[in-house]
Amino acid sequence: MLLPDTTQTIVAPASAPGSGAIAVVRLSGPGAFRTAAAFLKPSSVVKNPKNRFSYLLSAEENGRLLDKTIVVFYRGPESYTGEDMVEISCHGSPYIVSRLLSLSIAGGAREAGPGEFTLRAFMNGKLDLAQAEAVNDLIISEGETAHRAAITQVEGGISKRIKELRGALITMLGELEVRLDDSYNELGELDIKAFTKRTAAIAGKIKALADSFKNGRYLKHGIRVTIAGAPNSGKSSLLNRITGSGRAIVSPKAGTTRDTIEAKLTLSGFTVIFTDTAGINPRTSDAIEREGMRRSLKALKTADIILWVQDASKKSSPADRRVGAAIERGSAPGTDLVKVFNKGDLPGARTPSETADGTAISCRTGEGIAALKRLLIREEKKIFSTESSSVITSARHYSALLNSHRELEKIGLLGTGRSFPLELAAEHLRGTLTALAGILGETASEEILASIFKNFCVGK
Helices then strands (H, E): number in the chain?
A: 16, 13
- Are residues 369 and 265 part of one domain? yes
- Report whether pLDDT(182) > 80: no
> Residue range 300-309: average pLDDT?
91
Of the residues 383, 401, 431, the one at which a domain ends: 383
The pLDDT of residue 47 is: 83
- Are residues 231 and 362 part of one domain? yes
The pLDDT of residue 305 is: 92
On whether residue 453 sits in a domain, the answer given is no
- Are residues 111 and 138 part of one domain? no
**At 84, is the pLDDT very low, low, confident or very high (cuts 50, 70, 90)?**
very high
Q: What is the CATH number of the domain that holds 76?
A: 3.30.1360.120
**Vertex 264: Cα angle to 259 and 265 (nearest 5):** 140
Query: What residue type is assigned to position 256 of the chain?
Result: T
- Are residues 420 and 369 part of one domain? no
**What is the C-alpha separation between 215 and 212, in angstroms, rounded?**
5
- SS3 (DSSP) at 127: coil
The pLDDT of residue 282 is: 73
- Are residues 348 and 254 part of one domain? yes
Q: What is the CATH number of the domain that holds 408?
A: 1.20.120.430
On whether residue 3 sits in a domain, the answer given is no
Instruction: Report the mean per-residue pLDDT for the chain.
Output: 88
Tens digit of each residue's pLDDT (9 = 90 or more) over 189-232:
788 899 999 999 999 999 999 998 988 888 888 899 999 988 88
- Are residues 191 and 82 part of one domain? no
Proportion of the chain above pLDDT 90, given as a percent:
51
* Enclosing domain of residue 32: 10-127
| Range of lowest pLDDT (87-91, 147-151, 406-410) | 147-151
- Report whether pLDDT(327) > 60: yes
**At 10, is the pLDDT very low, low, confident or very high (cuts 50, 70, 90)?**
very high
- Are residues 286 and 430 part of one domain? no
The pLDDT of residue 217 is: 83
The pLDDT of residue 269 is: 83
Residue 458, classified by CB atoms within 10 Å of its CB into exposed (0-12), middle (13-18) or buried (19+), is middle
Q: Diameter of the chain by CA atoms?
A: 93
Q: What is the CATH number of the domain that holds 304?
A: 3.40.50.300
The answer to whether 227 and 247 are in contact (CB under 8 A) is no
- Are residues 266 and 341 part of one domain? yes
The answer to whether 272 and 225 are in contact (CB under 8 A) is yes
On whether residue 460 sits in a domain, the answer given is no
On whether residue 446 sits in a domain, the answer given is no
Radius of gyration of the chain (CA): 29
- Report whether pLDDT(162) > 90: yes
DSSP lists the bridge partners of residue 330 as: none
**At 294, is the pLDDT very low, low, confident or very high (cuts 50, 70, 90)?**
confident
**What is the C-alpha separation between 451 and 444, in angstroms, rounded?**
11
- Are residues 148 and 120 part of one domain? no
- Are residues 123 and 14 part of one domain? yes
The pLDDT of residue 250 is: 56
- Report whether pLDDT(351) > 80: no
Whole-model pTM: value is 0.80
Exposure class string for 124-135: b at 16+ Cβ within 10 A, else e: bebbbbbbbbbb
Q: What phi and psi values does residue 114 have, to the nearest 5 degrees?
A: -55, 130
On whether residue 202 sits in a domain, the answer given is yes
- Are residues 349 and 283 part of one domain? yes
The pLDDT of residue 64 is: 96
- Report whether pLDDT(161) > 60: yes
- Report whether pLDDT(1) > 90: no
The number of C-alpha atoms within 13 Å of 34 and in the hemisphere containing its C-beta is 10
- Report whether pLDDT(268) > 90: no
> Residue range 424-431: average pLDDT?
95
The pLDDT of residue 288 is: 74
The count of domains in the chain is 3
- Are residues 48 and 167 part of one domain? no
